[in-house]
Amino acid sequence: MSDSVVKVTKRERYEAIKTLCGMVENAGDLDIDGIVAFCDKEIETLDARAEKAKERAAIKRAEGDELMEIVYNALTDEFESRDTITARINDENITAAKVTYRLTSLVREGRAVKDEATVTGADGKNRRVSVYKLA
């Protein structure tokens, strides 16, 4: 026997209930038409939610693309740390983590180059940091 579990969605369950209702010949006191209508309404609600989620995802993707270009435009021909690039953007809503994600994507796309450099921290100790520049 296989240990894999097949996940059944709510939509699939409602479709199965509708199919079963279509197979019932003698339902007695059960309101088969009402059950089918209920399933149809629930499926409609699930579809509407899925569509809204797609719209929200598209908006987030567009914002991400916009931020990608902002980060790209903040790059120079000289290697600089993520913190320097983030400071150049000068937007409190754009965090270092968001910049790092976009920098990694830009490197993957070949639009930026990543290297490592040694910098001296405020405590006087040297540490290695990632630095980026235009490709």
- pLDDT of 131 reads 92
Domain co-membership, 46 together with 90: no
- What domain count does the chain have? 2
- pLDDT of 58 reads 84
Low-confidence ranges of the chain (pLDDT < 50): none
Burial of 86 (0-12, 13-18, 19+ CB in 10 A): buried
Is residue 113 one of the residues assigned to a domain?
A: yes
DSSP string computed for the chain: ---------HHHHHHHHHHHHHH-S--TT--HHHHHHHHHHHHHHHHHHHHHHHHHHHHHHHHHHHHHHHHHHH--SS-EEHHHHHHHH--TTS-HHHHHHHHHHHHHHTSEEEEEEEEE-TTS-EEEEEEEEE-
Contact 132, 103 (CB under 8 A): yes
Q: At what angle do helices 32-74 and 10-23 cross, to 10 degrees?
A: 160
Range of the domain at 128: 75-135
Is residue 1 one of the residues assigned to a domain?
A: no
- The pTM is what? 0.54
- pLDDT of 29 reads 82
Is residue 68 one of the residues assigned to a domain?
A: no
Question: What is the domain-level CATH number for residue 116?
Answer: 1.10.10
Domain co-membership, 37 together with 13: yes
Domain co-membership, 122 together with 98: yes
Domain co-membership, 55 together with 79: no
**Closest alpha carbon to 72 in 113, 130, 128, 119:** 113
Domain co-membership, 56 together with 90: no
Domain co-membership, 84 together with 48: no
- pLDDT of 46 reads 95
- pLDDT of 104 reads 93
